[in-house]
Amino acid sequence: MKTASNGRVILREARILPIKVSHDFLTNIVKLAHELPRIFHWLSFTVVEDEGFSIDFAYNHQRGQYNAEEILNELKRRKGFRVLGVTQVDLYVPSLNFVFGLAEYGGNAALISTNRLRPGFYGEPHDEKKFFERMIKEAVHELGHTFFLKHCPRSYCVMHFSNSIYETDAKKKEFCHVCKRELEEKIESIV
């Protein structure tokens, strides 16, 4: 068992893998690694680089997007209690036009795309705070699925399914009381 400098007990370590991101964007990923332990207090997050990780195979030329399922399958093979892939490319699954992210339910891997989280994607002015809030919400949501959490009917809960960016903006970055209780019960048996 490890203890963080602030006295927080760390039971497991999670990895954040930047995938096809610009060098400038790495600062956001480092900020994410510092923010996520506020919600997942039993985890520490480390940003890792994997030079051998390519997603070119998942690109669909007709759609101009990357298949999130194929990328997630590759992430599942990476070592780590939890692995969160973060990319700037646009993602889809065959049944949907796009996804903000995808996760292996009850598994070790999750993936988010920041492409459609940028206010500029919707013709809005640049807003770094709004962008980063969206990034946190999607990361927490997808990691929640890895801990067996399903979509929540409460629109303010981070586990609520976001069909649009406006639904992402409307929800909080934390779990509702029901999902938080479920998560704590799951954690006791997992960690």
Give the catalytic positions in this structure: 142
Phi then psi dihedrals of residue 135, to 5 deg: -60, -45
Looking at residue 66, the DSSP 8-state letter turns out to be: E
Element (H, E) at 12: strand 12-19
Nearest residue to 178 (alpha-carbon basis) of 164, 157, 163, 162: 157
Q: Are 67 and 102 in contact (CB under 8 A)?
A: no
CA distance 122 to 130: 13
CA distance 118 to 153: 25
Give residue for tokens 């997603």: 55
Residue 141 CB partners (closer than 8 Å, separation 6+): 100, 101, 158, 159, 162
